[in-house]
Chain A
Amino acid sequence: MTNTAAFLSRIQHALELAHATLREIFDESAYIRFLQRRGLTSSRESYAQFLREGEATRGRRVRCC
Chain B
Amino acid sequence: MSKPVRALVWVAVAAAGALSIATIAIRRGEQLSAMWLVVAAVCTYALGYRFYSKFIAAKVLALDAMRATPAERLENGRDFVRTNKWVVFGHHFAAIAGPGPLVGPVLAAQFGYLPGTLWILVGAVFGGCVQDFVILLFSVRRDGKSLTEMAKDEIGRVGGFVAYVAVISIIVVLLGVCALIVVNALKASPWGTFTIAMTIPIALLMGVYLRRLRPGKVLESSILGFVLVMLAIWGGQWVSQSPTWGSYFALSAPTLAILIIVYGFAASALPVWLLLAPRDYLSTFVKLGTIAVLALGIVALRPTLHMPALTRFIDGTGPVFAGNLFPFAFITIACGAVSGFHSLISSGTTPKLISRETETRMVGYGAMLAESMVAVMATIAACVLQPGTYFAINSPAGIVGQAPEAAVSVISNWGFPVTAGDMHGLAQAVGEQTLFNRTGGAPAFAVGMAHIFSHTIGGQALMAIWYHFAIMFEALFILTVLDAGTRVGRFMLQDALGHVWKPMGRTSWYPSILSTSALIVLAWGYFLWQGVKDPLGGINSLWPLFGIANQSLATVALCVATTIIVKMGRARYALVTLAPLSWLVAVTFTAAYHKVFDPNPRIGFLSHAQQLASGVTGPTTARLIFNDRLDAVVTGVMIAMVGVIVVESALGWVRVLNGRTEARVRETPFVATRFAAEEQA
Contact = CB atoms under 8 A, between A and B. Distances in A.
B550 to A, nearest CB: 7
Interface string A9-33: 0000000010011111111101111
A57 B78 contact: yes
Interface residues of A, number: 38
A30 B272 CA distance: 16
A64 interface: yes
A61 B348 contact: yes
Contacts of B97: 64
Interface in A20-59: 20-28, 30-34, 36-37, 42-44, 46-48, 50-51, 53-59
B91 A59 contact: no
Nearest to B277: A58
Nearest to B283: A63
Interface in B360-406: none
B87 A53 contact: no
A56 B513 CA distance: 12
B503 interface: no
Identify which of A37, A64, A65 gathers the most chain B CB atoms within 10 Å of its CB. A65
A59 B218 contact: no
B487 interface: yes
Interface stretch (B53-61, B302-310, B336-344, B666-674): B336-344
B272 A62 contact: no
A56 to B, nearest CB: 6
Nearest to A35: B216
A25 to B, nearest CB: 5
A9 B649 CA distance: 52
Contact of A24 (B78, B91, B277): B91
B201 interface: no
Interface stretch (B36-44, B477-485, B558-566, B606-614): B477-485
Interface string B479-502: 011001101100100000000000
B338 to A, nearest CB: 12
A53 to B, nearest CB: 7
Given A59-B272, A64-B481, A28 B217 contact: yes
A59 B211 contact: no
Given A61-B95, A62-B348, A28 B216 contact: yes
A32 B217 CA distance: 11
Contact of B81 (A17, A33, A46): A33
B481 A46 contact: no
Contact of B349 (A23, A47, A61): A61
A55 to B, nearest CB: 5
Interface in B307-363: 334-335, 339, 341-342, 344-345, 348-349
Identify which of A36, A54, A60, A64 gathers the most chain B CB atoms within 10 Å of its CB. A64
B90 A55 contact: no
A31 B214 CA distance: 13
Contact of B484 (A30, A33, A51, A61): A61
B339 A65 contact: yes
A59 B546 CA distance: 23
A47 to B, nearest CB: 3
Interface string B220-241: 0010000000000000000000
B211 A62 contact: no
B98 A65 contact: yes
A59 B212 contact: no
Contacts of B215: 42-44, 46-47
Contact of A20 (B84, B96, B211): B84
A54 to B, nearest CB: 8
Nearest to B85: A17
Contact of B480 (A22, A37, A48, A63): A63
A13 B488 CA distance: 36
B95 A63 contact: yes
B488 A60 contact: yes
Nearest to B271: A55
Interface string B517-556: 0000000000000000000000000000010001000000
Nearest to B219: A26
B100 interface: yes
Contacts of A36: 77
B64 interface: no
A55 B272 contact: yes
B290 interface: no
B553 to A, nearest CB: 11
B422 interface: no
A44 B212 contact: yes
A21 B484 contact: no
Interface in B451-491: 480-481, 484-485, 487-488, 491
Nearest to B76: A37
A64 B98 contact: yes
A20 B277 contact: no
Interface in B74-89: 77-79, 81, 83-84, 86-89
A64 B284 contact: no
Identify which of A37, A51, A53, A57 gathers the most chain B CB atoms within 10 Å of its CB. A51
Nearest to A57: B79
A24 B276 contact: no
B481 A33 contact: no
A56 B95 CA distance: 17
A59 to B, nearest CB: 5
B219 A59 contact: no
Contacts of B216: 28, 31-32, 42, 47, 50
Contacts of B271: 51, 55
B523 to A, nearest CB: 16
B114 interface: no
A37 B99 CA distance: 36
Nearest to A22: B219
Contacts of A31: 216, 218
Given A22-B219, A28-B217, A63 B484 contact: yes
A39 B86 CA distance: 28
Contact of A26 (B78, B218, B339): B218
6 contacts: A20-B86, A21-B90, A28-B216, A33-B81, A60-B487, A64-B341
Top 5 A-B pairs ranked by shortest CB distance? A47-B215, A21-B90, A26-B218, A65-B100, A63-B484
Interface of A: 17, 20-28, 30-34, 36-37, 42-44, 46-48, 50-51, 53-65
